[in-house]
Amino acid sequence: MNNNPNNRPRQNQQYNQQNGQRPVQQNRQPVQRQPMQQRTNYNGYNPYPPVKHKSRRKAYRAAGLVVLSVIILVMLFVSVIIFAARCATGQIGDPSDTGEKNGTSDLVNDSASGSAGGDTIIEAPTTTRSPETEPETTALAATFEYVTKTEADMHKGYLILVNYQNAYSFDTDFKIQTFYGNRNKSYKLRDTLVSLDSYAMDWCNQMMAAFEADTGKHDILVNSAYRTMEEQESIYSARVSAYGEEYAKSYVQLPGYSEHHTGLAIDFTIYTDAGESKTFDAMTDYPQWLTANAHRFGYIQRYASDKTDITKVAYENWHYRYVGKPHAYYMVQNNLCLEEYIEKLRGHHTFDGEHLLITDDEGASWEIYFVPSAGETTQVPVPKYQEYTISGNNVDGFIVTMKG
Ligand SMILES: [Zn+2]
């Protein structure tokens, strides 16, 4: 539209010059430059009619120019009116808006912004803003950089899978500390030596405080938590002696394959104020509270009754494992044991694929993805400006948890 007012006058002027050039020059030469005597040499030539024609042509030309000028002015005027009208409705901003839209869609999420924007370009004010707001809710808008992780790192972190197939490496960055001196008074201890990773213990303290607040009881007891290789060997051999190997294996993992080595697992029992000891599975109210609430504090009941064929461990309602809040939340909500969760991340939520988005009951959100190990070292993509944690899975890769 903007080109028409400029192009048309040029075309018209050229057209007129071409058409008018020849007759004007032919007429002017005899009239202005040839002497009057020469006119009489033409037989039958009447000097007056050409003079009249000349004046008529001049008049026509003048009239034509006036008409053209009027047309040009009208077109310019119409163009100005259209331009002003577009400015008033905001449509004049469309070209730059769609440019930004294409730019963000390349960086962020082609499927989300591409199709929606293409259908509704005219409705600029609402549709051009949606691709800019969507990436903020899906953390895919994050800028990523790489950190180098080693083979040893793959065996560290809060999501390591330690089971009958995956031994523990005993190479850890965790700070193992005794409950004694670091717990709150909402629960009890078997002795002063029971220990756990300090961060997992912080969450255990919060969980026990919530239990006491809800039930009015404080007689849950930490019976066993962190175990060294030697302690596991001792426990295992004692069980084998007492119950036989088959029975022992269903409850006590082979030394090196126990979650208790990690400093992330707790076995609970009951010890009442009256000095009465009770096994955890003999109770109903305590296990029910933990089953319903432990995930809010990052803990899962590790060996569920309906997952024994996967875990290869009998149902243990007293054994809890810290994995972290979003992971525990997702596993409980979707009835997945740790083996199934690790498998789901590996198969469906790689960095290049669709990340797992988790929002808990309180509105906190996380974005999670899996990065396979590349061998001795792995370049793990992590968000440059967002809070995150990395954990090995103790099998074949790394799990990145971004805070939303
Ligand atoms: Zn246990």
Which tens digits make up the pLDDT trace of 258-306?
Answer: 999 999 999 999 998 889 999 887 777 888 999 999 999 999 999 999 9
* Residue 210 included in any domain: yes
Catalytic residue selected from 151, 316, 339, 387? 316
Cα-to-centroid distance, 24 and ligand 1 (Å): 111
Cα-to-centroid distance, 340 and ligand 1 (Å): 19
**Which of 275, 298, 322 corresponds to the end of one domain?**
322
CA distance 270 to 275: 10
Cα-to-centroid distance, 303 and ligand 1 (Å): 9
Residues 123 and 185 placed together within one structural domain of the fold = no
* Residue 256 included in any domain: yes
Residues 296 and 186 placed together within one structural domain of the fold = yes
User: Do 359 and 403 meet the contact criterion of CB atoms below 8 Å apart?
Assistant: no
Question: Concatenated DSSP letters for 234-251?
Answer: HHHHHHHHHH-HHHHHHH
Least confident of 164-168, 271-275, 334-338, 364-368: 271-275
Predicted confidence (pLDDT) at residue 101 exceeds the cutoff of 50 = no
Which tens digits make up the pLDDT trace of 115-153?
Answer: 333 222 222 222 222 333 333 345 456 899 999 999 999
Residues 151 and 220 placed together within one structural domain of the fold = no
Residues 318 and 367 placed together within one structural domain of the fold = no
Predicted confidence (pLDDT) at residue 62 exceeds the cutoff of 90 = no
User: Do 266 and 208 meet the contact criterion of CB atoms below 8 Å apart?
Assistant: no
Cα-to-centroid distance, 265 and ligand 1 (Å): 6
Domain that holds residue 291: 170-322
Closest by Cα among 60, 182, 218, 154 to 399? 154
Residue 316 a catalytic site member: yes
Residues 318 and 366 placed together within one structural domain of the fold = no
Residues 299 and 269 placed together within one structural domain of the fold = yes
Give the CATH number of the domain where residue 383 resides: 3.30.200.180
184-214: burial string, b at 16+ Cβ within 10 Å, e else: eebbbbeeeebbbbebbbebbbebbbbbbee
* Residue 41 included in any domain: no
Number of domains the chain is built from: 4
Give the chain's mean pLDDT.
77
Cα-to-centroid distance, 151 and ligand 1 (Å): 27
Closest by Cα among 353, 286, 363, 354 to 326? 363
**Which of 306, 322, 338 corresponds to the end of one domain?**
322
Residues 176 and 317 placed together within one structural domain of the fold = yes
pLDDT of 59: 61
pLDDT of 18: 42
